[in-house]
Structure 1
Amino acid sequence: MLRAQNLCWHKNEKAILEHIQFELHPGECLGLIGPNGSGKSSLLKILAFLEPPTSGELWFQGQTIPKLAPLEIRRKIAIAFQDALLLNTSVWENIAIGLKIRSVPKSEIRERVNYWLQQFGIVHLAKQPARSLSGGEAQRVSLARALVLNPNVLFLDEPFSALDAPTKESLRTDLVKIFHSTQVTTVIVSHDFEDIERLTQRALILIQGQIVADAEPATLLATPQTPEVDQFLSYWRNTRRLNSISDQSSS
């Protein structure tokens, strides 16, 4: 579906990403994780055609993409950010806006918007002003607005970072079901390894702008490939160990 070949990106003469190489397969859910400033969101922007790479090649469905991706290619992807970025109109109109821009027939718009309202459990919010929503509700609208487009690739940039723990868990559970039913090819950036474990089949760890590990999340946690990966994942490994000890003590 997507292939990065020796991608590099420099900003203000500083190397942000260096020699990025990987493939994303149809139906796969891929996680990007790493320390703050490692280049995760920068890579996502390049993969989503929001920024051109300084050098290297990006392939989409077997086609080399020029620095300015053509409209017909950009319309095959959808992106949802940490900030929901909702328009000052109703929830229904926010979800429908992309379909209207694409001149989709009104009857089809109605059907698709209503479907995603149901999938995210926000039918009761359809007529409500989007700016009046809670953080969790707004993120559900943002995700529905992306998925209603039936994208070939869905990009999610830190979709849970602004949510409290119960809201995050509820939304993660819904996304697991949605990814299973739609098989939409997805790239998720997160700073939380639990998001990557729950939602992805494979993860790339970025450190200082380079991919230093590429494996299934469980494999990364159990057998870190390098000392720097081991150090980065130590927080989650230690948390699991402490929780296990606490559970044993309670029983």
Structure 2
Amino acid sequence: MTDIISVRDLSKSYGKKEIVHPLNFSVKKGEILVIIGPSGTGKSTLLRMLDIIEPASEGEITLFGEKVTKHSAHSLRDRMGMLFQKTVLFDRTVEENIALGLSYRHVPKEERRKRVEKILEEMGMSEYARRRSRTLSGGEGQRISFARVLVTKPEILFLDEPTANLDPGATHLLEEMILHENRVNKTTIIITTHDQAQGQRLADRVAVMIDGSIVQLGSADEVFYHPANERVAKFVGIQNLFTGVVRNKTAVSGGVVFCPAPHVPDGIVQIMLRAEDIFLSKNPIDAGHISVQGRVVSSERSGAFLHVMVDAGCIFTVVCPFRQTETTYVSGDIVWIGWRTDAVHLV
């Protein structure tokens, strides 16, 4: 696959404050790139720069093999589309709202009608055509906003928190539409989201953006299970972070042996283990896993999951489905915890 987007030393400042620090990365044609990170870290600003809505302070952007300049910006923008977090529809019919982007591109009236009819049929929303936008629910409105972008046949699609204000059902529908657009039309899609599970569901690659910089870029498995550093680990929800040492080709912390480390030099390491990768039992755990005995510090239910803190030399957080636990755990209980050695990540 060839690069459809490439940025070099791209940055954005407002006055003396640099919001986006110099970035260098590329996106392949047909790829879904999901950008995650805390609020205020520059994700939306980056998206607006890539869509040529917001001018960059420094650096350059190359789209479709052509550098973005004042002269090329208009023609390049016609090949892209943006869906914003907040649904914005005019007080017109659904079909009139969808046709707006085509009108701005001077598409003939009959062609507009056919394309609007086709996109509504593909989405299973043909019956919405004559409805006024003000009668739509939030999820319906966002789907119509998405249709308004898709009907222009963008080669690159930017989605800025597209499901942030939607319920789970509407989110699922929009995600299906996103995947369909990517798979059927090979559209390159860049998404910003706070929903990390959504990132894992949709992404070919995930970029973690913190304090205006992309601190890790890789597959969902790399980012969520092999974070580059402690900042990324904390952001992606790894709750068990321990400072330890590698000695005699073994990673140890607090007297707990975590895993063999035959390829890691002796010295201090960060030991990372996801809470959901730890087994919990009141009986010894089979010999196929690393296991240690400990005492329950606390136990509480959070939705469908049970969160248990266990002191086993280190304080471990364990998360397991509430309905799958065969017993209850209370403070003071003696338990065993265990994990597969390949679930441990060392930095």
- Scaled to the shorter chain, the TM-score interval is over 0.9
1:202 aligned partner: 205
* Offset of residue 58 of structure 1: 0.7
Identity %: 34
Matched, 1:166 2:242: no
Structure 1 residues without counterparts, runs of 5 or longer: none
- Corresponding residue to 1:63 among 48, 57, 66: 66
Q: How many aligned residue pairs are there?
A: 251
- Corresponding residue to 1:245 among 321, 325, 338: 321
Name the amino acid aligned to 1:208. D
Matched, 1:220 2:223: yes
Task: Give 3-state SS (helix, strand or coil) of 1:103's partner.
Answer: coil
Structure 2 residues without counterparts, runs of 5 or longer: 240-273, 279-304, 306-318, 327-347
CA distance in 1 between counterparts of 2:107 and 2:277 reads: 48
- Corresponding residue to 1:83 among 70, 82, 86: 86
Point out the more displaced range, 191-200 or 148-157: 191-200
Larger Rg: 2
**C-alpha contact (below 8 Å) 1:52/1:68 kept by paired residues:** no
Select the structure with the greater relative contact order (CA < 8 A; seq sep ≥ 6).
1
The structure with the greater share of residues assigned to helix is: 1
CA distance in 2 between counterparts of 1:169 and 1:240 reads: 26
1:143 aligned partner: 146
Task: Give 3-state SS (helix, strand or coil) of 2:12's partner.
Answer: strand
CA distance in 2 between counterparts of 1:246 and 1:164 reads: 23
* Offset of residue 123 of structure 1: 1.2
Kindly report which structure 2 residues correspond to 1:182-201, keeping only aligned pairs within 5 A, or say none: 182-201=185-204
**C-alpha contact (below 8 Å) 2:52/2:73 kept by paired residues:** no
Name the amino acid aligned to 2:196. F
CA distance in 1 between counterparts of 2:114 and 2:320 reads: 46
1:180 aligned partner: 183
Q: 1:87 to 1:64 in 2, by over 3 A?
A: same
* Offset of residue 125 of structure 1: 0.9
* Offset of residue 110 of structure 1: 2.2
* Offset of residue 239 of structure 1: 7.0
* Offset of residue 111 of structure 1: 2.3
Kindly report which structure 2 residues correspond to 1:108-147, keeping only aligned pairs within 5 A, or say none: 108-147=111-150
What whole-Å deviation, never above 9, does each CA across 1:5-30 have from its counterpart, x for those lacking one?
Answer: 01111013111001111101111111
Task: Give 3-state SS (helix, strand or coil) of 1:234's partner.
Answer: coil
2:35 aligned partner: 32
What whole-Å deviation, never above 9, does each CA across 1:162-198 have from its counterpart, x for those lacking one?
Answer: 0112221232233223321111011101011112112
Task: Give 3-state SS (helix, strand or coil) of 2:237's partner.
Answer: helix
CA RMSD of aligned residues (A): 2.1
TM-score normalized with structure 2 length: 0.68
**C-alpha contact (below 8 Å) 2:138/2:166 kept by paired residues:** yes
Point out the more displaced range, 114-123 or 182-191: 114-123
TM-score normalized with structure 1 length: 0.93
2:309 aligned partner: none
Q: 1:170 to 1:240 in 2, by over 3 A?
A: farther
